[in-house]
Amino acid sequence: MRPRFLHQTLLEYADISSRFCPWARVFFHLKRSQVKSRWKAPRALALRWIRVVMPRVVNNTPYNDEKYTGSLRKKTSEILAFLDVFTPQSCPSGL
């Protein structure tokens, strides 16, 4: 059984981040175009945020959007092809 409050919180954070954060918006739209289920894209984005944020929590370092975008550029992620289409805004750094 999953912890429902935490699950819902992560889904809501993923939804809000897809509105304000360019790479999260691109990731969400790419996943949404790939899957048929309505909930798989937000879950995938929430999992991506967990993978981004948890090392920051463990090491007690703040999230840096420019640093993460730079790491995406080093890895030549598929997100980069669509990243420049969206207007840059700051990502929510609530976690």
pLDDT > 50? residue 95: no
The string of pLDDT tens digits covering residues 28-80 is: 988 888 887 878 999 999 999 999 999 999 999 998 888 888 888 888 778 87
pLDDT > 70? residue 89: no
Give mean pLDDT, residues 80-87: 68
Q: What is the pLDDT of residue 91?
A: 59
Neighbours of 12 (CB within 10 A): 12
CB 87 within 8 A of CB 23: no
